[in-house]
């Protein structure tokens, strides 16, 4: 398998866990935000939006990617990276100073979901093979 031999196809395989985790996190964050917009973790009484948590997760994933080089670590870091991307891009509108009720919100939500599905489709064959080898809960 390419992830074990560090062949160039490794990076195609890693798109799958990133895209799958991104899409799952993005959709879950959208659902939770729509069901309960006042749900957040206050820090010193301040409403910290979940894109900030996403940035911290992305920073941690970047550091871990520099430190660890095993195939299983690459897979787990890819999952962590997808989680951070999902949280960060869920509130992309806030980056642009749009409000959550802005009609443009639905345009980029749909765009992000379509991009996620395209990436999953393009990388599914190699990505599922990688997931079977490295995901601890996947026993076939």
Q: Domain tally for the chain?
A: 1
Buried b (16+ CB within 10 A) or exposed e, 103-131: eebeeebeebeeebeebbeebeebbbebb
pLDDT (tens, 9 = 90+) of the chain, 140 residues, equals 444 555 556 667 788 888 889 888 988 988 888 888 777 777 787 777 778 888 999 999 999 999 998 888 888 999 999 999 888 888 766 666 555 555 555 556 667 777 777 777 777 777 777 677 666 665 54
User: Is the residue at 23 inside a domain?
Assistant: yes
In a domain, 73, yes or no: yes
Q: Is residue 48 in some structural domain?
A: no
- Residues 123 and 100: their CA atoms lie apart, in Å, by 32
Determine, yes or no, domain membership for 61. yes
Asked if residue 87 is part of any domain, the answer here is: yes
The answer to whether residue 44 sits within a structural domain is no
- Report how far apart, in Å, the C-alpha atoms of 34 and of each of 47, 55, 107, 117 are: 16, 21, 16, 21
Contact 109, 86 (CB under 8 A): no
111 domain-assigned: yes
Residue 122's domain comprises 6-37+55-134
Asked if the structure places residue 78 within a domain, the reply is yes
Full-model pTM: 0.66
């Amino acid at each position: 398998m390419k992830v074990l031999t560090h062949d160039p196809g490794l990076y195609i395989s890693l798109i799958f866990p990133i895209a799958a985790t991104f899409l799952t996190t993005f959709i879950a964050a959208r659902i939770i935000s729509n069901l309960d917009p006042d749900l957040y973790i206050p820090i010193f009484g301040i409403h910290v939006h979940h894109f900030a948590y996403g940035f911290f997760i992305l920073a941690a994933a970047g550091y871990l990617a520099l430190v660890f080089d095993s195939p299983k670590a690459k897979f787990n870091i890819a999952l962590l990276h997808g989680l951070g991307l999902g949280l960060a891009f869920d509130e992309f509108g806030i980056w642009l100073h749009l409000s959550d009720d802005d009609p443009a919100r639905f345009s980029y939500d749909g765009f992000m979901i379509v991009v996620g599905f395209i990436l999953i489709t393009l990388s599914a064959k190699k990505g599922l093979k990688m997931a079977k080898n490295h995901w601890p809960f996947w026993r076939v």
